[in-house]
Amino acid sequence: MRILITGSHGQVGSSLTEQLAKHENTEVLALDRVHLDITSQDAVNATVAEFEPTIIINAAAHTAVDKAEEEVDLSYAINRDGPKYLAQAAQSVGAAMLHISTDYVFEGNKAGEYVETDATNPQGVYGKSKLAGEIAVAEACEKHIILRTAWVFGESGNNFVKTMLRLGDNRVALSIVGDQFGGPTYAGDIACALIQIAKRINQGDAVEYGVYHYSGLPHVSWFDFADAIFDVAVVQGVLEKKPRLTSITTDQYPTPAQRPSNSRLSTEKITLGLSVKASDWKAALNNIQAYTE
């Protein structure tokens, strides 16, 4: 199995690189944006032609949700054009393309969990550019898996867990949004899920290509997630004392980009179809010291 990873220094990309280093009979080419600019079609074509991967995993993305409202061209270049070039290159060498997408492709006002067939209606530039990327990948590469996820956190990069630990270290009280709900998803679990799928494809197992949802359970609010983070941090001695938490509404914490109030993704399809279990975000907090390093 020959795997090309893009965005190798991101939360998921770094986990992919680390986990795949332990796999036998697997050749990995892990590239960050310095070594491969996915917005350059020539660069993508040259890299793919030389390495000849059997699987391409695109973990590169412009994920700065608020900045995306101003950096429109950059968002579409990274989130739409780059994936399109990678998918076209994958098709040219007969490779499968695994592409990470987001809950932001939905409007976020559904009462229950979002399933893969629900209508998309992104509300901001980030979601719109990611949806455009999904469409581009599906059109360009026959063997494609689009993995929508949400609320990603891990030991590398910036994320909610790290922010909470940093703020909790120097504040006695914090206000956290309590009316947005979703499934926190550990980057290491996303990487593991992608590797499981890649191995199935490489082994020639029957795989239904298309869109899958993958995120953490149980679903919680940001307030609930923060509460759990601080409980673990105090028990494990990362923080001396838990800050006093107050639940606030989205309206009380305005941001340039609109956030979905409901980011609950159903993971039933990926569990039944590909035997991939939902991310266990509570277990991922057990080694909370790793998020402070």
Catalytic residue (choose from 85, 104, 114, 126):
126
The per-residue DSSP string of 121-176 comes to ---SHHHHHHHHHHHHHHHH-SSEEEEEE-SEE-SSS--HHHHHHHHHTT-SEEEE
User: How many Cα atoms occupy the beta-carbon half-sphere of 215 within 13 Å?
Assistant: 25
Written as six digits, the tokens of 178 are 């309590």
Q: How many CB atoms lie within 10 A of CB 237?
A: 9
CB within 8 Å of 142: residues ≥ 6 apart: 91, 209
Verify whether residue 126 is a known catalytic residue: yes
**Between β-strands 262-263 and 210-213, what pairing exists: parallel, antiparallel or unpaired?**
unpaired
Strands 181-182 and 220-221: antiparallel
Angstrom CA distances, 63 to 29, 92, 173, 244, stand at: 23, 28, 28, 30
3-class secondary structure for 217-252?
Answer: ECCEEHHHHHHHHHHHHHHCCCCCCCCEEEEECHHH
Number of continuous H segments (helices) and E segments (strands) in the chain: 10, 15
Could you give the CA distance from residue 193 to residue 156 in angstroms, rounded to a whole number?
A: 18
- Catalytic site positions: 126
